[in-house]
Each structure stands twice: as structure tokens, then as C-alpha cells.
Structure 1
Amino acid sequence: MDAESLRSTFRSVLSLPGTRTWYIAAALVRTPVVMAPLALVFLGHSAQSFSVGGLLAAIHALGEAAGAPVMGRRFDRRPFVGQLRLALGTEALAFTALALGAGQVPVPVLLALAFVAGAAAAGAPGGMRAQLSTITPEHLRPTALSLESSLSQAAWAVAPPLASLLYVRFSASGALIAMAVASAAPLLFVHRIPHAASRPETPGETGDEWLRTTAILRRVWPTALLSAAIMFLVGTVDVVLPARLEDVGSSPALAGLVMTAFAVASVIAGLLYGSRRWPGTPLSQSLVLLPALAAAFTLPGLTTQPWIFAAAFAIGGLLYSPLMVIRNLALQQRLPQHAWATGFSVLYAAAGVGYGAAGLMAAALLDTAGSGTAFVACTLTTIVIGALSLLGERTHLRHR
């Protein structure tokens, strides 16, 4: 193998067979998930209030948390193509039902549909990421995952303003229809997405503790808790930001543009982080990045200037992508390759729990304490969760 092929460059990753198709599919898989929080907040606001919207977003995230371990394990054990069809097809149908049922059915029915939409496709991101890691040579994986993180943040750059635009021009239902279309689109070329053959179970392997989700969780719980802390912060933003903008005299639809500042900065940070080696261990980097991210996201609760919101979110974006890459690499170091899809789905579930808990907490605080207090309270909670994660990581390192 020549020196050029050994270099961890984005060109090297994109030149691997099928990876461009994988990244296109991953973008489509990610887009409706990123649109969902803001679209569901708008849907709830149209039906009743921002609190109902926050509840819909939270239930969607909790559906992801409930479905991710189960669906992720199915991606580990069953044919990839069939599982992706099941996940994305069900998600598309649920979003379509939400769009058609808005204003026509009771809120509990909307909550049930939001839960199904979250649970159905919860294993898809982990299953996709596991396939990327499988088809990518080990020396290129940090770069491939950094590119994936930047792609995810590119979706954040496009999806929230798209949800806002569709809400303003049409309705929240228009955003949900667009989400359903994005969910179904990868099914048109699912066989072309590069993937390895599923590894069938062998006699006696069912009891192997490496393959049990509970055993995996025992192994990766500090990383899972870090994932929950990060998404608790993001969940706070998605639920509280539209209400905060309205409270300071701006349009709630500006939330999409403010989130774009976060996403664009995240794309840049992901590319920079993957382009070189950075000083310090993943633990020491997390000790700096997570508190700084929480501090940046506290600013909208302390000021009334929307331009400061955008600046704070841009700073947050520069810190977010490296944290996500650190999280993904830490999981791969703790688990064997045949358990990666399950492991990534455990992280996805933890992220859903963090996001859903933030939505429930923020929705309650919006009704009782206001949007500014909700921002500050939720960012302080993130610090507590993150501290527990980093203490657990330090304990794990001592016992290795």
C-alpha cells in the first residue's frame, strides 16, 4: 500500500468503493430526524401551545431511546437492506400520519405517532455508522467519522431553516410531509448502499455477554452518559429557543436561522478536528469541551439580543462536533466490531433519553418559570450529567 493511500484524508475516504453513496443515504436518513424537533414544536404550537410542542418533541426522542437498542441489535444480527427498509418505511408512514392527522385527531394520538416515528428508525443511524466503520480501513476511520459528523451538522444547517420555511409558507404539516419524503428516499437505492453481510448467530453465541445489550451498556455507560449530556443540551435548545425568541419580541421561526449558525460552525469544526491529531486524551478534551459548550448555550437565557443567540450557537457548534467524534471513537475502542451497531444504537438511545428528558424538563419550565430560566436550568443540568460521565470514564481507565 503506497503512502498516499495510507494518509487519513477526506479524499482517501471518499475514494473508497461505495462511500459516496453511503454519505448520500446517511444525509437523507439524518434529515427528517433533525427536522423533527422543530417541526413537532411548531405542530404542537399550532394545535395548542409551545409546551405541547415540547412534549411532542420529547416523546419522539423517547421513542428513539426505546427503539434504538432493539432496532440496533436487529441491524447487527439481520440483513442490512431488510432492516433499513423496515425502519425508514415505518418512519415515513408515521410522519405522513402525523401530517394528515394534525388538527384532526386528539393530542394523545399525535403523541403515539411521534413515539412510533422515533422508535421505528432509531436503529438506522447506528446501523449505518457500523457499516461505514466496517467498510473503512482502521487508519481512515477517524477521518471517516469526522466527515460523517460534519455531514450530520450539514443536515443541521439545512433542516431547521427548512422546517421553519415550510412552517411559514405552508404549515407544520408541510414540514412533516417533507420529512416523510426524505425518510423514504433511501429506499430507492438501498441495495447500492455499501454494507457487509450480517453475521449469523452460531450455537452457544446467544449467551455471549459481549452480544447482550445490557453487557454492552455496562461496558460503555460513561460514553452513553456523555451522549445523553450532549443531547440534553441540544434538546433544551430545540424546545426552548422558539419560545425564547418570542419572549424577546422576535419570530419563533428565526430558530431555524439561529440553529444554522450552530450547524455551519459544527461542519467546520468536524472537518478541522478530523484533519489532524489534537493534544490530550479524549477524556481531557471532553473535560474542556463539554463545560464550554454548556456555557455557550447558557447565554440565550441571560440576554435578549437574537444576534447574541446566533453568536453563542456558533461557538457551541465549534465545540459540538469534536465531542461527537470523541464519543464515537471511544465506543469503537470498547467494543468488538460485531457489536458496533448495537453499541452505536445504545449511544443513540442514551441521546434520545437525554433529549427527551430535556424536552420534558423544558416544557415544564416554560409553563412555570419562563424561557430564560429554562435555558439556564437545563444547561446546569448538562454540567451535572457530564461530570458523572467523565468521572465514570476516569474510573474505567483506572481499571483497564
Structure 2
Amino acid sequence: MPRPSYRSLATRPVLIWAAVAFAARMPVAMAPLSFVFLSRLRPGGYALGAGLAAAYVVGEVVGAPVLGVRLRPARARMHLLWGLVAGAAAFAGLGAFPTAPPVLQAALALLAGAAPAAAPGCLRTMLTEQLGEELIAKALSAESMHTRAVWTLAPAVTGTLAIGVAPNAPILLAAALMAVAAAGLRWLPRGWEADTSDRGGISIVRTLAMAWPVYVSGAAAMSLPALAELVLPALLAQRAIAAGWAGPLLAGYSLASAFGAFLYGLRTWPGRLHSQGLVLLLGVSACVAMAGVLPHLGWIAVALLTAGLLASGLQVTRSMGLRETLPQSALTAGSSVMYAAVGAGYVGSASLSGAVMGMASPAAAILCGVALTLVLATASAVGERKLMRARSRKSAAPRPWATPSTAQPRIGP
């Protein structure tokens, strides 16, 4: 049987999903930079903008696992609707009152991050539940390309609106897009069937905890883009290279990531998913480390483009690995926990790089960040080996979700 092509995804339900996902993801990608532009003209504006961005990320990290665990598959669309509406209202409040007291703004930023935090995992499940098992890997690769496109477009849109229109224009656009996403949910499935008996009587929290090596690898993977984004301008200045090159280099990283996701979905790759992810993580780590020590702009560009090319495959292997580790009824909650772990990895890497740059060079900050990534990767590999041994001991009584499953009937639109 021939391997399905990307054309198999060009169906009306998938295209509608892509449009709704775009409207839901753009506000998330725009938010941190939007907060900086919203506050920069006020006294202590840049510090306030960074504080609002931090509150937003904290909201995401806390809201994703809490709301993801509480989500009921049969009523997923309603759950997602209320989250998007609350997020849109919080963004609208920030945009409508740009000079509000910082405490109020921080509370709104926290709500804007927390309320729709279960959306990434929920939308991913809404996509995969409409497809056959043979299309899952390709759909996740396409989703990775979709995500990279959004994150490439968002900074340009944010900067153009903030400078050319008004400082609060990006926040108001984010509110409008999130409201559009909420309205577009009517064309997506109400939810999906999920038989909780596939957990074998184990609670959802314990079931999710079984996948901790995948979450750790997700945090490790996200720490690397954080290094590239946050340390690159200072690194270029250290190399006597114009800091303005940081924008094109990061845009190239994003485009290379999108192309890498396309390549990963074209074929089946050898080895287990965890082994693929580990190799890709080590490759990205090596490229980021080389970008930190190489002296010339051309070589830095090559290292970052190669890192981007490998990073998208790493994202797909994480998503596939989660599907392999968790039962179907826990996948959406698992994706939400993964989203929180990725955010924690970004925050941890940002904190470490900032602390190191206060005492040492940007190159040292990058190398310390790569060292942290390797520690997390080692912990993930050790945990995966323990999981494999536990599974082998229970091979006489395999888990219900370890056997090939038939597609569950989805609840209608």
C-alpha cells in the first residue's frame, strides 16, 4: 500500500481546522512582543512589558495541565469555547486600557495565558481524531509546519502594527483573532469518544505521570530555541556583528524548521521514536553550541539553519512519542501537560541564560544552556529505558492502548 501524501490532508475538515488553529495560535505567538510594545512608552516600560510577558507565560504553564486534566472529551468544543472567549476578553481589556495599573494588567495577562491554555492539546486531538492512523505522522508534521508559519509571521505583524498604527493595536488584533477562533469552533467536532477503561483503572494523574520522560525531552527541546532567541543579539554584538542580523537569522531558523517538518513527514524514518528524538535533540544541541563558539556570521547562520532543520522533526517525535506512551483517553491531557513542560523549558533556559550573562559572556550562556539541555536529555533517556523494562515485564498482559486500535466514532459537528 503506497504511503499517503500530504495531498491526503487537503480535505474540507482539515482546512477548516487549520483556519481555526491559525486564529487561536496567532495571539499566543504575538503576546510576548505585544506586551513589550504596549508598555514601552510608560515609565519603566520595558521592565513592565517583560513582567506582563512573564505573567502570561506563568498563566499558560499553570493553566494547561489544570484545564487539560479537567477537559471532558465529549464536551471538548464547549470547554475550548469558554477558554477562547475568556482569553479574548482578557486581551481586549489589555488593549482597551493600555495605561491601567500594572497589577490589573498583570492579572489580565495571567488570564489571557491561562484561560485558553488547553487549546493546543485540544485542537491537536480534534485534528487527529478526524484522520486514520496512517495519516497521523503526516498530520503532525503538517501541524508543525503550520505552527512555524504562525511563529514566523507573528513578530512581523506585531512590530508593524505597534509602530505603524498604535502600541495597543497588536493586543486588540490578538483579541479579535481569538474571538474569531471561538466563533469558528462551530465547524469543528463537538468532541470525541474516549473510553476511560483503556487506563486499566489507573487515575488520570498517575497515567499522565507515566509519560514524564517525554515531558522532560519536551522541556529540553524548547530550551534550545530560547537560547537562540534571547542570547543571539548579545552574541552578535560580542562578535562585532551588527545586532540587526538577529532578526533575519531567527526568521531563517523558523523557515528551516518548517521545511524540516515537511521533510520529516515525507517518509518513514528508521529507529524507535525515542531514539529518533534523542538523536535530533543531540544534533540541535551541537548546532546551537557551534553557533555560540563560531566567530563568523556565515558559520553562525549555517549552524542555526541546521538546528532549525532538525528541531521540527524533534517536535513531531515528541508528539508521536506521547501517543505511543499514553492511552487514547489521556492524550489531550497529556498534550496539555507537554505544553506546560515546553513553557517551563523556555522559562528555565531564559532564566539561566540571563543569570549567566550577568556574570560571563553570551557564548558562555549558550554553552551553559546546552549543558542544561544535555542533562535533561540524559534524564529523559534513563526514564525511557526504565519504562521499556517495565513494559517488557508486563508483556504477558499488554496494555489495552498498546494494541492496534480502530478509529473511534467521533461526535458529529
Q: What TM-score results when the alignment is normalised by the length of structure 1?
A: 0.85
Partner of 1:297: 288
Partner of 1:287: 278
Cα distance in 1 for residues equivalent to 2:39 and 2:372: 25
Following TM superposition, where does structure 1 have runs of at least 4 consecutive aligned residues deviating by more than 6 angstroms? none
Letter in 1 for 2:149: A
Cα distance in 2 for residues equivalent to 1:176 and 1:10: 34
Letter in 1 for 2:221: I
Partner of 1:72: 68
Partner of 1:13: 9
Partner of 2:207: 216
Change (3 A) 1:275 1:235: same
Letter in 2 for 1:320: A
Partner of 1:329: 320
Partner of 2:142: 147
Per-residue deviation, residues 36-90 of structure 1 (Å, max 9, x unmatched): 2333455566553766655543432232111111221343345122122211122
Letter in 2 for 1:382: T
Partner of 1:188: 183
In terms of fraction of residues, the more helix-rich structure is: 1
Cα distance in 2 for residues equivalent to 1:21 and 1:395: 41
From 69, 73, 78, the equivalent of 1:82 is: 78
Letter in 2 for 1:182: L
Per-residue deviation, residues 98-146 of structure 1 (Å, max 9, x unmatched): 334545422x444333322221111001001111121111111111111
* 1:136 partner SS: coil
Cα distance in 2 for residues equivalent to 1:284 and 1:311: 25
- 1:218 deviation in Å? 2.0
- 1:378 deviation in Å? 2.1
Larger radius of gyration: 2
Change (3 A) 1:357 1:131: same
Letter in 1 for 2:144: S
Partner of 1:387: 378
- 1:399 deviation in Å? 2.2
Mapping for residues 1-400 of structure 1, pairs under 5 Å: 7-15=3-11, 18-42=13-37, 48=44, 53-77=49-73, 79-106=75-102, 108-170=103-165, 172-197=167-192, 210-212=202-204, 214-241=205-232, 250=242, 255-302=246-293, 309-369=300-360, 371-400=362-391
- 1:352 deviation in Å? 1.7
Cα distance in 1 for residues equivalent to 2:306 and 2:216: 23
- The structure with higher relative contact order (CA 8 Å, sep 6+) is 1
Letter in 2 for 1:149: S
Residue pair 1:59, 1:356 contacting (<8 A) in 2 also: no
Residue pair 2:213, 2:384 contacting (<8 A) in 1 also: yes
* 2:154 partner SS: helix
Per-residue deviation, residues 147-205 of structure 1 (Å, max 9, x unmatched): 1111111112212232333344346533322222222221232111245346598xxx8
Residue pair 1:222, 1:389 contacting (<8 A) in 2 also: yes
Provide the identity percentage.
33
Partner of 2:397: none
Residue pair 2:213, 2:380 contacting (<8 A) in 1 also: yes
Letter in 2 for 1:386: A
Letter in 1 for 2:388: L
Cα distance in 2 for residues equivalent to 1:43 and 1:301: 32
Per-residue deviation, residues 342-399 of structure 1 (Å, max 9, x unmatched): 1111111111211222233344445554644433322321221122112211221222
Residue pair 2:94, 2:105 contacting (<8 A) in 1 also: yes
- 1:321 deviation in Å? 0.9
For structure 1, the 5+ residue unaligned runs are none
Per-residue deviation, residues 269-299 of structure 1 (Å, max 9, x unmatched): 1111111011222222223211221232335
- 1:263 deviation in Å? 1.5
